[in-house]
Amino acid sequence: MITVKIDGRAVEIPKGSAVIDAAKKAGITIPTLCYFDLQGKITGLNSSCRVCLVEVAGRKNLAPACSTPAMDGMDILTSTDRVIAARKIMLELMLSDHAQDCLTCEKAGNCKLQDLCFEYGIKESRYAGMMNSLPLDESNEFYTRNMNKCVNCRRCVNTCSAFQCTEAIDFAGRGFSARVATPFEEDVRDSVCVSCGNCVSVCPVGALQSKSKEKFRTWDVTKTKTTCSYCGVGCEMNLLVKNGNKVVGVEPSNGDANNNLLCVKGKYGYNFINHPDRLKTPLIRKDGKLVEASWDEAYNLIAEKVTKTKAEFGPEALAGLTSARVTNEENYLFQKLVRTGFGTNNVDHCARL
């Protein structure tokens, strides 16, 4: 362990920690854009955004808190006039070539760049920079890429490479032309992208946005934490609910099984919830037609048919097929029902992972 002083507070942190870790331990918030913690792995150590600059006693230059190793006895200041001025310059430089269509951008209210500009009182940039004019990529079925709004924070690249392990994107070009791109500048649809949407989830601005049948802003929705039902992994996520009853989006949650990551089904496979053809009550066949029935009526019919079939043809005439969209505990109970209740080992599962 080492001891550092940050804004006059002494804190003890493990050797090898960064300055930003000391700030967290002291309860001090340092603004960040490129830095984020996913699955216990820190990304953004390339210090690309530079908005986390701090002043370290004895050093001439300001240091990025996210990638500067904390050293024993270090004296750090996080909110001096010099630090604030440097952070403002960084934000203004980002704004100088950033599309400022906040009034119509769906990311408004949930944009880290917008939040930081509000925090530091920045209304416009003093620097007249060139504006990007890159084509909009809407080839992917689930999300849109608008690199004119990208701030080159590397969050999407780091997530795709280090966590999703797909490596569908990386940086191309240099200087002002530096941009996130697929190999050979192909459309995302033609790349190795698996449409997991994790890059969209970590994007701090409006460069990557999910496509939705219904437009919404962050203040239009409430978040309901739940567990994904597509398989038995148990990924946690937040349903974005509009008007109290309609799911219009999904964002990953920091559950033990997924740590802020989702697959394409969890991220984008939610439209069945509000689909008009979704079954919400049991159906039984009467006079050759399927009609709605109560659960008691359905269970009684199942018990009657199973008992009759077993008595007439034996237990081997029965079989059970269970689902990947229920919990492991429920699958266990189902196979136990088939083996002990039906008297057969003819039980299978729809998952073939």
Residue 185 sits in a domain whose CATH number is 3.30.70.20
Q: Would you state the pLDDT for residue 352?
A: 56
What does the pLDDT read at residue 100? 84
- Residue, of 75 and 231, whose pLDDT is higher: 75
Is 118 contained in some domain? no
Q: Can you give the pTM of this predicted structure?
A: 0.83
Residues 150 and 229 in one domain: no
Dihedral sign of CA atoms 324, 325, 331, 335 in order: negative
Residues of the chain by 3-state class (helix, strand, coil), percent to 5: 30, 20, 50
pLDDT level of residue 245 (50, 70, 90 thresholds): confident
Question: Alpha helices of 207-254 — where are they, by DSSP H?
Answer: none
Question: Quick check: is 172 in a domain?
Answer: yes
How would residue 37 be classed by pLDDT, with cut points 50, 70 and 90?
confident
| Assigned domain for 122 exists | no
Whether residues 187 and 149 share a domain: the answer is yes
Say if 102 falls within a structural domain: no
Q: What is the pLDDT of residue 45?
A: 55
Are 1 and 13 in contact by the 8 Å Cβ rule? The answer is yes
Q: What number is the average pLDDT over the span 50-71? A: 93
Give yes or no: residues 57 and 80 share one domain.
yes
Q: Identify the CA nearest to 206 among candidates 135, 249, 251, 150.
A: 150
pLDDT at 155: 92
Strand pairing category for 53-56 and 9-13: unpaired
| In the predicted structure, residue 25 carries a pLDDT above the cut 60 | yes
Q: Is residue 115 part of a domain?
A: no
Same structural domain for residues 207 and 235? no
Residues 139, 199, single domain; the answer is yes
Same domain assignment for residues 79 and 158: no
**Number of alpha carbons in the 13 Å side-chain half-sphere of residue 300:** 5
CATH value at residue 10: 3.10.20.740
Domain boundary among 42, 67, 95: 95
Indicate whether 57 belongs to any domain.
yes
Nearest to 202 by CA among 247, 241, 151, 242: 151
| Partners of residue 69 on adjacent β-strands | 18
Whether 31 maps to a domain, the answer reads yes
Q: Rounded distance, CA 8 to CA 96, Å?
A: 35
Distance between CA atoms of residues 44 and 153, nearest Å: 7
Is there a single domain that holds both residue 11 and residue 90? Answer: yes
CB-facing half-sphere around the CA of 326: CA atoms within 13 A: 12
CA 169 to chain centre: 17
Is 101 inside any structural domain? no
User: What is the reported pLDDT for 353?
Assistant: 46
Q: Where is the domain boundary, 95, 117, 140? A: 95
| Residues of the domain holding 86 | 2-95
- CATH number at 247 reads 2.20.25.90
Residue spans of alpha helices (H) in the chain: 19-26, 81-95, 112-119, 155-158, 198-202, 264-268, 295-313, 328-336
Range in 118-132, 192-206, 235-249 with the lowest mean pLDDT = 118-132
As a whole number of angstroms, the distance between CA 256 and CA 233 comes to 10
Q: Give the number of domains in the chain.
A: 4
Q: How far apart are CA 332 and CA 22, in angstroms?
A: 47
Whole-angstrom distance, CA of residue 72 vs CA of residue 5? 9
Residues 271 and 333 in one domain: no
The per-residue pLDDT of the chain, averaged, comes to 91
Q: Domain end: 185, 211, 237, which one?
A: 211
Higher pLDDT pick, 353 / 13:
13
Are both 58 and 78 inside the same structural domain?
yes
Question: 214 is written with which tokens?
Answer: 């219904």
pLDDT average, residue stretch 18-28: 93
How far is residue 169 from each of residues 154, 193, 276, measured CA to CA in Å?
10, 8, 37
pLDDT tens sequence across 118-172? 999 999 899 987 888 889 999 999 999 999 999 999 999 999 998 899 999 999 9
